[in-house]
Structure 1
Amino acid sequence: MIDFLQGMINLLNDLLWSKLLIVLLIGIGLYFTYRSKFMQFRMIREMLRVLFESKSVSGDNISPFQAFCISMAARVGTGNITGVAIAVALGGPGAVFWMWVIALIGSASSFVESTLAQVYKIKDKNGFRGGPAYYMQTGLKKRWMGALFAVLITISFGLVFNAVQSNTITIAFENSFGTDRLTVGIIMTVIFGAIIFGGVKRIAQMSEYIVIVLAVLYIGVAVFVVLMNITKMPEVLALIVKNAFGIDQIAGGSLGAALLQGVKRGLFSNEAGMGSAPNAAATATTSHPAKQGLIQSFGVLTDTLIICTSTAFIVLLSGAYTDPSLNGIELTQAALSVHIGSWASGFLAIMVFLFAFSTLLGNYYYGETNIEFLHSNKAWVRLYRIAVLAMVIFGSVAKVQVVWDLADLFMGLMVVVNLIAITWLSKIAFAVLNDYVKQKKAGKDPVFTKDRIPGLEEIECWESAPAASGSDQARS
């Protein structure tokens, strides 16, 4: 029975992830890119400006930068270390090029879903919350669709994926330092529990610190490696492009492998269009929905073009990717050891902890906001927190393949549901973008109210602000 179930899950996952979702995500991403007039290219400077224009807000509200960090905490995980290495091992250096391409395309999808999350967000005691379930209910008038999405993301991100992350952490520490996996799991659970029982504000603060630390450390190591091998960089860049389009790859049939691995790992890493990051985007206190859309679009570019590329350069400059016995985390460890010595294994274990722990925080919050969508009774949130902590403990000592594969299936279904919703609602996101650009051209700091776009009368936020008010909090 177990074998039959495993076989069915594998078949459905293959259909979803190797065929249907790649076509949908690329096709819809290209459509959004065209409809937004290539916003991810022409507005890159504006993305950076709005990211840092308001790093703090008054009271218990979440700043745009903190909302960015929550989403990056979930995006930036062990996939940035292991996923890129797997892509290179299975698809060759050309896979890196296609990861770049899918990030550039997917950033438009991220803009649409995150802008919609801001438009349809609701107020709660902590400030704001929202996401796909909320814009499905209010924008599409389909409560059942939002409930389906909420269940799928809570199971896949909130529970099972957190078990997988804790599993990765404890295995990495066991391999590098010989520590007991259960002991590490208990310590991690206590720390994690103190954070999540502190509420979304504490999650935002911890995400902000962890994401900054891990990004600076990991990118710093990559820069060091690149500078050490600066004379080899033209050769590596040529290798990436050659393997992405080379005649040898077409003749040998490996071009398809490079394309497939680059697209799959790119999508897994940056989560563009999946419906996860909008849950964080909705929490931000900002003056215009497009601002958070731009910030989250930049997050996709940061995740793939900077952090994943850091791993790619470390691996390719080492030459270790040519060893067929190395894959995943072992390949990255071997590559880093070539550059900085044998102590790289322990260093990478610490980096895996930072990456995976930050993902625990982001994943947890995605589940919490969707539990609150399903039921307002706080008892359900407390029960969810206990379940998450139990899954972290469980994942620290064991990894059940059928559960991991089932989570992939739930996530695949979640993505399909979200893509349908954001395609139907995309005209609202593009209208919001046009309003933002129009105000910018007039020399204004864009401020949004729901009467600026027809059809938004029923949304809860974005009432007209007092004329004298200049704060983001009053505007939104």
Structure 2
Amino acid sequence: MEHFISNIDSINQILNNFIWGPIMLAFFLGIGLMFTLRTKFFQLTHYKMWLGNTILACLSKKGVRKTKEKHSISQFQSLCTALAGTIGTGNIAGVATAIAAGGPGAIFWMWLSAFFGMMTNFAEKSLGIKYRYKNDKGFWIGGAMVYIEKGLGVKWLAVLFSVFCAFASFGIGNMAQIQSISSSLHNSFQIPPLLTGVVVASCVAMVIMGGIKRISSVTEKFVPFMALLYIAGGLVVILANIEAVPAAFASIFGEAFRFKAAGGGIAGYGIAVAMKKGISRGVFSNEAGLGSSVMVHSASDVKEPVIQGMWGMFEVFADTLVVCTITALTILTSGIYDMNTYISNTAGNIPNLDGAPLTAESFASVIPYGSQFVALSILFFAFSTLLGWSYYGERAVEYLFGLKAIVPYKICYVFVIVIGSVSSVRLAWEISDTLNGFMAIPNLIALTLLSGEVMQMLKDYLARYVTKKRSFL
């Protein structure tokens, strides 16, 4: 068995290095940059519009928070369910891993990928609403596979995306999440990993068997609470070390462009590692470009594709530019992080690969029982991700095999939670990265070829709702 796992690990590392090479990283950034430039930096120039139509609308429009449609969920519920899938271990362990492997400079590249990723997410969600349809039970069905098939007319590429998505749901959405839960609870409370796996699997089963309505009803209450609690904890640490904040930002920007060699190796190695870890961890966290959360956004009762696109922008903003930044500043201001200890080397041997211990130590430096606080945060974050990704995998399986395959998929999903609780940390994370890359390729191709339709939708929306005489686009 150990020999088999070793072979799987070796093959996966080769695929991982190929998928997350310079070309793929440039592809991710390039798509977001393309939409950013073509919309003339919409995420900056129209920030009042997309904030006003999303999170601020929740305060003034009841219809945004609740829906009367039997087979739909509200816009706010779609956001919370999408954030349930994105706000997970990537925000705690993933950020710490990026810093440990790529240095503080990785955070700059995470920010950059999120800034451009806001527009990538905008495009995905807009296309998702435009091409969605209702299944035999009356529920909205949408996703990258739908706009790939209906928008591009390339069925085989849609099938390829769905296959990768179904497998990815067991990686990024399942094994990586439950492994972080079981390891953190074991380290902080000495709870046996297998026991954690069984209990979490039972809780997940009770929710996902009720379908999207039950999932969204749980996440709309769960996600805001857990996110605000974690942000509050992080701010306590940051404010306690407020004098270290300028130095933290200086290290982030300085290390992002530091030309250092690795053990006599290639000059510029530091930038390459920081870019790879920052962008890959950013994608792991906010999933912009994967096409995954399009599926739950498509279940919204919204009528205007561009509005749902704006919810996609806020999703990335909240996940990476807010929550991930809180984690990064907590680590870098706490004094726990030591560049000489955590910096990566050519062999890739980095301590605490799952990243959670580094984050836990940072919180514990200020907050009593800080490591326990982080362990519980991981439990909440990862549990919500397990719920969100179960829906993504469900939609992919339905697309491939029909409604009859949903229940068997859910049973397998719950069973893998138990297996993942006692699996290898590194293998779970690297499998997740590899599957993310394979899943992204069909989606990024579709976004490129359908970019004209996205621009036309935005142009039409602005013409109808923006009172300006001159054309914006």
SS in 2 for 1:283: coil
Residue 409 of structure 1 is matched in structure 2 by: 434
> Once the 2 structures are TM-superposed, how far is the Cα of residue 252 of structure 1 from its aligned partner?
7.5
1:399 deviation in Å?
3.5
| Structure 1 residue matching 2:134: 3-state secondary structure | strand
Q: Within the alignment, does 1:261 sit opposite 2:273 as a pair?
A: no
On the 8 A contact 1:152/1:413 being kept in 2, the answer is: yes
2:171–2:428 CA contact under 8 A, matched in 1: no
Q: What is the match of residue 297 of structure 2?
A: 281
Deviation at 1:247, TM superposition (A): 7.3
Corresponding residue for 1:457? none
| Residue identity matched to 1:94 | G
- Residue 287 of structure 2 corresponds to residue 271 of structure 1: yes
Correspondence 1:385 to 2:410: yes
Offset at 1:212?
0.7
Structure 2 residue aligned with 1:23: 26
Correspondence 1:290 to 2:290: no
Deviation at 1:169, TM superposition (A): 1.1
Distance 2:432 2:102 in 1: 24
Distance of 1:87 and 1:290 partners within structure 2:
33
Task: Report the equivalent of 1:75.
Answer: 86
> Counterpart in 1 of 2:346?
none
Check conservation: 2:173, 2:389, Cα contact below 8 A: yes
Task: Evaluate the alpha carbon distance shift between residue 259 and residue 395 of structure 1 in structure 2; reply closer, same or farther with a 3 A threshold.
Answer: closer
Q: How far apart are the structure 2 equivalents of 1:350 and 1:220? A: 14
In 1, the alpha carbon distance for the partners of 2:138 and 2:373 equals 37
Q: State the alpha-carbon separation in 2 of the partners of residues 225 and 260 from structure 1.
A: 28
Of residues 188-197 and 367-376 in structure 1, the stretch that sits farther from structure 2 once superposed is 367-376
C-alpha deviations, 1:417-475, integer Å up to 9, x for none? 111111111111111111111111249xxxxxxxxxxxxxxxxxxxxxxxxxxxxxxxx
Deviations 1:163-203 (A, max 9, x none): 33122212211111112222222221221111111110111
145 and 260 in structure 1: CA distance in 2 versus 1, 3 angstrom threshold: closer
Q: Aligned partner of 1:58: which letter?
A: K
Q: Does 1:427 align with 2:469?
A: no
Q: 1:386 Cα shift?
A: 0.6
Partner deviation per Cα, 1:99-143 (whole Å, 9 max, x = no partner): 111111111111111110110011233531200111111111122
- Alignment partner, residue 56 of structure 1: 66
Larger CA deviation: 112-121 vs 226-235: 226-235
- Residue 107 of structure 2 is matched in structure 1 by 96
- Please tell me whether residue 65 in structure 1 is matched to residue 82 in structure 2: no
What's 2:167 paired with? 155
What percent identity do the matched residue pairs reach? 36
Determine if contact 1:161/1:404 at 8 Å carries over to the other structure. no
Aligned in 2, Cα 1:391/1:254: closer, same or farther, shift over 3 Å?
A: same
- Corresponding residue for residue 458 of structure 1: none
Give CA-to-partner distance per residue, 1:296-320, whole Å, 9 cap, x none. Answer: 1111111111000010111011121
Question: Contact conserved, 2:146 with 2:158, CA < 8 A, in 1?
Answer: yes
Q: Secondary structure at the match of 1:59?
A: coil
**Where does residue 345 of structure 1 map in the other structure?**
371
1:441 matched to which residue of 2? 466
| Aligned-partner residue type, residue 238 of structure 2 | V
C-alpha distance in structure 2 between counterparts of 1:93 and 1:158, whole Å = 30
Of residues 423-432 and 317-326 in structure 1, the stretch that sits farther from structure 2 once superposed is 317-326
Question: Superposition pairs for residues 119-268 of structure 1, below 5 Å?
Answer: 119-124=130-135, 125=137, 127-158=139-170, 161-245=173-257, 253-268=269-284
Q: How many angstroms apart in 1 are the aligned matches of 2:138 and 2:313? A: 25
Does residue 34 of structure 1 match 2:37? yes
Distance 1:419 1:247 in 2: 30
Instruction: Give the Cα separation in 1 of the matches to 2:179 and 2:99.
Output: 23
Structure 1 spans left out of the alignment, 5+ residues? 444-476
Alpha-carbon separation, structure 1, partners of 2:333 and 2:306: 39
Q: Structure 1 residue aligned with 2:443, among 407, 410, 418?
A: 418
Name the structure 2 match of 1:467: none
Q: Is the 8 A contact 1:165 1:356 kept in 2?
A: yes
> Higher mean Cα deviation, 87-96 or 153-162?
153-162
Change in 2 beyond 3 A, CA 1:330/1:47: same
Q: Return 222-231 or 428-437, whichever deviates more.
A: 222-231
TM-score by length of 2: 0.88
Partner of 2:324: 308
Instruction: Give 3-state SS (helix, strand or coil) of 2:290's partner.
Output: coil
Go from structure 1 to structure 2 and tell me whether the alpha carbon gap of 1:5 and 1:188 turns closer, same or farther (over 3 Å shift): closer
Q: Distance in 2 between matches of 1:248 and 1:373?
A: 47
State which of 359, 364, 368 in structure 2 corresponds to 1:332: 359
1:237 Cα deviation (Å)?
2.2
SS at match of 1:340: coil
Post-superposition offset of 1:405: 4.2
Tell me the distance in 1 between the aligned counterparts of 2:172 and 2:109.
Answer: 28
Runs of 4+ residues over 4 Å off in structure 1 = 246-253, 400-407
Q: Is the 8 A contact 1:44 1:298 kept in 2?
A: no
**Aligned partners of 1:273, 1:415: CA distance in 2, in Å?**
6
* Corresponding residue SS for 1:81: helix
Q: Which moved more, 1:68-77 or 1:45-54?
A: 45-54
Name the CA distance, whole Å, in 1 between partners of 2:8 and 2:166.
22
* CA deviation profile, 1:143-173 (whole Å, cap 9, x unmatched): 2221121111011114674133122212211
Q: Distance in 2 between the 1:185 and 1:134 partners?
A: 34
Contact 1:102 1:266 in 2 (8 A): yes
**Structure 2 residues not aligned, in runs of 5+:** 343-350, 469-473
RMSD: 2.3
Inter-partner Cα distance in structure 1 for 2:171 and 2:404: 17
Give TM-score scaled by structure 1 length.
0.87
3-state SS in 1 of match to 2:246: helix
Query: What letter is aligned with 1:238?
Result: A
SS in 1 for 2:441: helix
Cα–Cα, structure 1 residues 98 and 407, in superposed 2: closer, same or farther, change >3 Å? Answer: closer
- 8 Å CA contact 1:95–1:258 kept in 2: the answer is yes
- CA–CA distance in structure 2, aligned partners of residues 168 and 44 of structure 1: 35
Q: Which amino acid aligns with 2:453?
A: I
Q: Which residue of 2 aligns with 1:11?
A: 14
- Conserved in 2, the CA contact under 8 Å of 1:164 and 1:399? no
In 2, distance between residues paired with 1:432 and 1:269?
27
SS at match of 1:139: helix
